[in-house]
Structure 1
Amino acid sequence: MTNTEIVEETIAFVEETLQGAEGGHDWFHIQRVFRNSLLIAKDEKNINILVVSLGALLHDIADAKFNNGDETVGPKLAQQFLSSLKVDKKTIAHVIQIIENISFKSSLEKKKKKFNSLELQIIQDADRLDAIGAIGIARAFNYGGFKNRALYNPEIPPQLNMTKAAYKKSDAPTINHFYEKLLLLKDKMNTETGKKLAEERHQFMLTYLENFYQEWNGQPLLKEP
């Protein structure tokens, strides 16, 4: 099986597996991350494009938040699928490590030695790009509605510097999520391309929040002439 055939089989598998998934973590999210990963990879050298493709396509195949917090489900499912395609063991191991280390909450965990690779950095940037900007805002509120969370509560301040365990247990209003994660992502981008793409999306979120608070407090959005 050629690399192109492996990627095509993986696309079909992911699209079928994620049918009916929550709107912020469905096939279209995977598709956007996949496309952005390939876009970012164009500006990088010495990339294993098969690992980038498979890692992007399988990074959310079984997100822990939809599996009772079990972070082993996704890697196991990905390994079983790639093994069924007879993908070489080195590639599979690399993809699994990407799945295990890509999430924002993993960055909150203190490890003596963390896995890292340029392929992980590319996919991580692509995934973080989809968490910010216009689509990032839509995804945040979609998930908040899915979990029946408040839009905003002035009496519940954002919790900064959370541990991984605290982050996973949080059920705070969606606006808090901007300060606890989304606004932090711009400065966590790995690649130069990722950093450039993140800047505009970050500014869009700042403008959105400014308008949100003005509307919340009954203030006019436009100044009187």
Structure 2
Amino acid sequence: MTRDLGPLARDLSLPYYEDALPAHDCFHAKRVRDLSIRLADRSERSVDRDVLAAAAWLHDIGRPLERTGAIDDHDQWAAAEAVDLLDAEGASTETIDAVEHCIRAHSIRSSSPDPETVEAELLFDADKLDATGAVGLVRLACIVGERSGRTGERYAAIDDSSIPGADEPDVPDVAILREWARKRLDALQTPPARRLGESRWQFMDDFFAQFYAEIGVDGER
């Protein structure tokens, strides 16, 4: 292999994101790449940044296919696809195995394996942190829209669905975004990620306090 792994993985990944929606597009992949390297710089352990960068670029290449129902599990599909892509480029078996594990372990789903390397932990954490803070609020709202579009029904309400007289009171309200973010923060693997996560959580706390104040609902939920 004659090219650096990170830039190579970027170029290999971009065609897969052409049909991606905003929450899981190439910009998300780049943010995860940048944040994972930032966390690596703060880690006390030795990190293979080439493996980490490659896995970040490739981790969500299966999202567009999963969204349309062409595949069932985007992380497992992306891991297998990454193996083929990197093997065709002459990457070493050791490198390919390391990238594959990172991708297989990046999801919060119960079916995903636990991260067993520092690179896998950092990718997991960077991916979860991109669903927190200001960027995370926008991404999670996009995901609600995606799921509403896929099911043909409203997935969650922007307002407070417990207000008497509101339509579809059983539909989750905007607090679902807070729950999703907290679940991801609680799952973080590394100290640098947990430190960054708490600052992002503080922003989200302030956001929701402002949100509920604007719609006239008690923010203590």
TM-score by length of 1: 0.78
Partner of 1:83: 87
Counterpart in 2 of 1:48? 48
Find 1:150's aligned residue among 156, 160, 169.
156
Query: How far has the Cα of 1:134 moved from its partner?
Result: 0.4
Give the direction of change, closer, same or farther, for the CA distance of 1:66–1:43 in structure 2 (3 Å limit). same
Quote the RMSD (CA, aligned, Å): 2.4
- The DSSP-based 3-state class of the residue aligned with 2:42 is coil
Equivalent residue, structure 1, for 2:199: 200
Identity %: 25
Deviations 1:1-41 (A, max 9, x none): 3452x322211121222023110100000000001111111
**Which of 143-152 and 129-138 deviates more?**
143-152
Aligned length: 199
SS at match of 2:61: coil
Instruction: Report the alpha carbon displacement of residue 176 of structure 1 after superposing the two structures with TM.
Output: 1.6
Structural mapping, 1:146-225, within 5 Å: 146-148=146-148, 149-152=155-158, 153-154=161-162, 155-156=169-170, 175-179=175-179, 181-217=180-216
Deviation at 1:103, TM superposition (A): 0.9
Report 1:18-29 matches (<5 A). 18-29=17-28
* 3-state SS of 1:131 partner: coil
TM-score by length of 2: 0.80
Whole-angstrom distance in 2 between the partners of 1:151 and 1:84 = 46
Query: Judging changes above 3 Å, is the alpha-carbon distance between structure 1 residues 203 and 65 closer, same or farther for their aligned structure 2 residues?
Result: farther
* 2:137 and 2:177 in contact (8 A); partners too: no
* Structure 2 portions without partners, runs of 5+: 149-154, 163-168
For the pair 1:66 / 2:67, whether they are aligned, the reply is: yes
Instruction: Give, in angstroms, the shift of residue 174 of structure 1.
Output: 5.3
Stretches of 4+ aligned residues off by more than 6 angstroms: none
